[in-house]
């Protein structure tokens, strides 16, 4: 989970009259202003440089890393086609990135356009071997734009293609060739493509690549392409990682479950080819209460699932019910296990590789090929039946886990119905401690979640009641990582939060019913506050992930210190910032106040520093990488102590803003 600084979230009123100002009618430009002369045709890669966000999503750190993914994915496509076994990624001290593989090399020679094929690939959008030319049977290729977009957004790019015993090269500056395609010498046994690019500082807000982000992505690619060696070197910090997994998805699932207690030591594994579709699935049950499932199509992470996920779920539910009946664990008059019952404690990775993937939406978040459902369902059903027949002890453990989940699900349903019924009988009464706002449009409403009545009192007095609501928590929130839904719903410090948000929980959660589009966690800037903040983040990640995915969850940044000369007052969020402010004031008659908690701040101070949309700083919580996010929450909040201790030892040196 990453956090990004947000000064004023969209739609937040800047002052009492802020909302009215936003509704003023705009004057229309004369229709005659829109003529044939208004239509622009951007040649070559000019469109990419003019609107980079349309091609890589953004020009911040996320877009910067997208350049790496585009080039690496071309090498991965070579590996999927069976032509590459090794990929090397290097970040140089000067910030340039080198990606090299041992595949076939980019084709060279005169193209039908009159240019060299190497130049066409790097300077023309939607050009390459993935568009019906027969170069690739299976490929990922995000949006079919690939390396030409990287070229357009790079200050400098050089490509070398080693094929047919020779090495050919061409260089570009901001997408335009500065050399012709030139033979630079014999290959001397070398083969494949070598791309060196340096992102353009005129385009990107940052040129700082994250070692951990790239390493995680490359590890994931190695899991999905067993037998491919991927080496990553960061010369800036002298760090290096290599990834090679002969076990493929089996290794992936074991990695995901390494901080959990598993029910069966060997993951259930399916590896079949149906026609031209390759199906690889691995899954394993653990003792947790959450499902951890990832789906991929042609190495693209389909975060919204699709037909391959539907086929897997159908096979899993049907196969476990059939086995439970065969083994007489389920009696004739017992109800079947439901899809929800077999999800608890499941860690699974589903990967399909197909010739003509059909994705729903430009982001390729969901696979739509109808035939894939039946293919995956049949393959997974065969694999499960064989495994359970050969491992009856594991089968019984899995069924018992599912039956326990079924009983807990029924208890949770009753508890959820009680919450809903209680609200209905009270006329949908909101929690007594909630100080609600007057605004009824969720887009303009904020909810501050604060710890304790003291902080809640200051927040209630300091807020703008027209659009800011405040909910004080009573004690520390339940650690939902260690609790089933029925226990969560019966918790006295969780239920008021669920009712206040108004959108339900779990499978019944409906983001359209959320009463606030800015949900702000505001805790003390000390160890206890950090713990409560982590408990709340765990709650939202596990049971209301849509709030995070929609960009509605924020973290307030209250100050630790107040530094005043009597005439001028400034606030600091750390000791280092406090010392810098003291040096800037450059007088010995200073008043320095240390806030032990939010409750010690006057209402006007809390408003000025933490709640006023014009002066506050909020951090927006985001799920940047689902695999990493799940791993962190499991490690920090799960049952096992050793992984948590190892994590703290490893990460402690990175902590900057912790007040003890």
Residues with catalytic roles: 451, 524, 526, 528
Q: What's the rounded Cα separation, in Å, for the pair 476 and 536? A: 9
Tracing tokens 């886990």 back to the chain, one arrives at: 401
Cα dist. 587→293, 295, 565, 594 in Å?
59, 60, 8, 19
> In this structure, are strands 154-163 and 192-199 parallel, antiparallel, or unpaired?
antiparallel
449 contacts: CB under 8 Å, gap ≥ 6: 471, 473, 497, 519, 520, 521, 522, 536
Tokens of 647: 């994590």
User: Which secondary-structure segment (H or E) carries 21?
Assistant: helix 18-21
Give the relative orientation of helices 211-224 and 626-637 as an angle to the nearest 10 degrees: 100
Sign of CA dihedral 385, 391, 396, 402: negative
d(CA 251, CA 257): 10
**Residues ≥6 apart with Cβ < 8 Å to 191:** 102, 103, 104, 105, 162, 163
Cβ count near 334 (within 10 Å): 12
Query: Could you tell me whether strands 229-234 and 86-91 are parallel, antiparallel, or unpaired per DSSP bridges?
Result: parallel
- C-alpha distances in Å from residue 363, one per residue of 1, 64, 126, 410: 20, 17, 16, 37
Cβ contact 591:567 at 8 Å: no
* DSSP assignment letter at 33: G
How large is the C-alpha radius of gyration of the chain? 28
């Amino acid at each position: 989970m990453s956090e990004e600084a947000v000064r004023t979230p969209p739609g937040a009123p800047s002052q009492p009259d802020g909302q009215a100002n936003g509704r003023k009618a705009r004057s229309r430009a004369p229709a005659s202003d829109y003529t044939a002369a208004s239509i622009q045709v951007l040649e070559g890669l000019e469109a990419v440089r003019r609107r980079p966000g349309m091609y890589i999503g953004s020009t911040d750190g996320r877009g910067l890393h997208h350049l790496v993914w585009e080039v690496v994915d071309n090498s991965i496509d070579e590996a999927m086609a069976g032509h590459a076994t090794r990929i090397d990624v290097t970040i140089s001290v000067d910030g340039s990135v080198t990606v090299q593989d041992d595949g076939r090399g980019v084709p060279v020679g005169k193209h039908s356009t009159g240019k060299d094929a190497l130049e066409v690939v790097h300077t023309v959008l939607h050009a390459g071997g993935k568009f019906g030319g027969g170069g690739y049977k299976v490929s990922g290729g995000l949006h079919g734009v690939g390396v030409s977009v990287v070229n357009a957004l790079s200050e400098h790019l050089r490509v070398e293609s080693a094929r047919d015993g020779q090495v050919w090269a061409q260089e570009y500056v901001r997408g335009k060739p500065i050399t012709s395609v030139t033979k630079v010498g014999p290959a001397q046994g070398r083969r494949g493509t070598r791309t060196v690019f340096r992102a353009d500082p005129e385009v990107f807000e940052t040129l700082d690549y994250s070692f951990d982000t790239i390493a995680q992505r490359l590890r994931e690619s190695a899991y999905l392409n067993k037998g491919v060696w991927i080496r990553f070197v960061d010369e800036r910090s002298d760090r290096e990682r290599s990834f090679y997994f002969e076990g493929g998805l089996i290794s992936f699932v074991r990695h995901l479950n390494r901080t959990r207690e598993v029910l069966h030591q060997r993951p259930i594994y399916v590896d079949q080819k149906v026609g031209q579709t390759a199906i690889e699935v691995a899954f394993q049950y653990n003792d947790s209460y959450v499902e951890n499932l990832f789906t991929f199509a042609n190495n693209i992470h389909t975060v919204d699932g699709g037909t391959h996920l539907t086929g897997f779920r159908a096979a899993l539910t049907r196969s476990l019910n059939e086995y439970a009946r065969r083994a007489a664990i389920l009696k004739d008059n017992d109800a079947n296990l439901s899809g929800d019952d077999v999800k608890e404690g499941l860690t699974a990775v589903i990967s399909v590789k197909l010739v003509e993937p059909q994705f729903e939406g430009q982001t390729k978040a969901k696979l739509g090929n109808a035939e894939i459902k039946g293919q995956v369902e049949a393959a997974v059903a065969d694999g499960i039946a064989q495994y359970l027949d050969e491992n009856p002890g594991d089968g019984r453990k899995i069924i018992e886990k599912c039956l326990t989940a079924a009983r807990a699900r029924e208890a949770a349903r009753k508890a959820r119905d009680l919450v809903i019924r209680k609200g209905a009988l009270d006329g949908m009464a909101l929690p007594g401690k909630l100080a609600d706002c007057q605004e009824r449009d969720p887009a303009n409403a904020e909810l501050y979640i604060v710890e304790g009545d003291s902080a809640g009192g200051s927040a209630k007095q300091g807020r703008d009641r027209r659009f800011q609501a405040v909910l004080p928590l009573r004690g520390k929130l339940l650690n939902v990582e260690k609790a089933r839904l029925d226990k969560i719903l019966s918790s006295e410090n969780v239920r008021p939060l669920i009712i206040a948000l108004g959108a339900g929980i779990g499978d019944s959660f409906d983001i359209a019913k959320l009463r606030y589009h800015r949900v702000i966690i505001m805790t003390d800037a000390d160890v206890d506050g950090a713990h409560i903040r982590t408990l709340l983040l765990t709650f939202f990640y596990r049971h209301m992930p849509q709030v995070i995915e929609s960009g509605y969850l924020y973290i307030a940044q209250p100050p630790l210190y107040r530094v005043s000369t009597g005439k001028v007052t400034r606030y600091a969020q750390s000791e280092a910032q406090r010392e810098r402010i003291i040096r800037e004031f450059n007088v010995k008659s200073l008043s320095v106040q240390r806030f032990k908690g939010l409750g010690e701040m006057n209402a006007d101070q809390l408003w000025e520093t933490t709640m006023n949309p014009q002066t506050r700083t909020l951090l927006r919580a985001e799920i940047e990488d689902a695999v990493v996010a799940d791993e962190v929450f499991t490690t920090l909040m799960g049952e096992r102590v050793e992984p948590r201790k190892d994590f703290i030892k490893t990460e402690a040196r990175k902590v900057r803003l912790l007040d003890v």
